[in-house]
Amino acid sequence: MSESSPAKNIVLGVTGSIAAYKAADLVSRLAKAGHKVHVVMTKDAQEFITPLTLQTLSRQPVTTDLYDEKADWHPGHIELADNADLLVVAPATANTIAKFANGIADDTLGAIHLATLAPVLMAPAMNGKMWKHPATRENVKKLMDRGVSFIGPEEGLLACGYEGIGRLWPVDGIEEEIGRLLAGSD
């Protein structure tokens, strides 16, 4: 982050993909760049990486439950949505993409998505057949038509053992895209 680019509030959604462990590197990079990173984890993401890891790297509390808001009378998810300069979901599962496309807010991340006016960047990670499925393609198109940006996925060896498209885009590339989107929002 240069002197001309002030610190931004980034809400980072982490969803239930094996690639969730890469969120630690992304959080670390963004925090080192001087940004305030507020991590929101889905229940499934917590099966792959702990909130404590991301809290330590971000130096911010990690939001894991829509109903665990004891710090203040203000709804925390609305505060995060209001203060976000950018909402990033990395990794973004097919399930989360479908929820966003259809306005489903049954968890904190979905509620923040519906409540924020900030730009949204999604970095998909899933099985290649899931990525190519007509429902996923339709959901991605619907979100892109609404102005949501996507980066990836890339091709390579997938956690399921297949070779093909579906890998999370490299963290340095996601970081660059975040910088580009933040520069455009000034």
* Set 160, 162, 172, 185: catalytic member: 160
Pairing relationship of beta strands 86-92 and 154-157 according to DSSP bridges: unpaired
Active site residue 160: yes
What ranges in 59-101 are assigned the alpha helix state H?
A: 76-83, 94-101
Beta strands in the chain (DSSP E): 9-14, 36-41, 86-92, 120-124, 149-150, 154-157, 163-167
- Amino acid letter for position 113: H
Name the nearest CA neighbour of 149 among 115, 185, 123. Answer: 123
Q: Which residues are the active-site residues?
A: 160
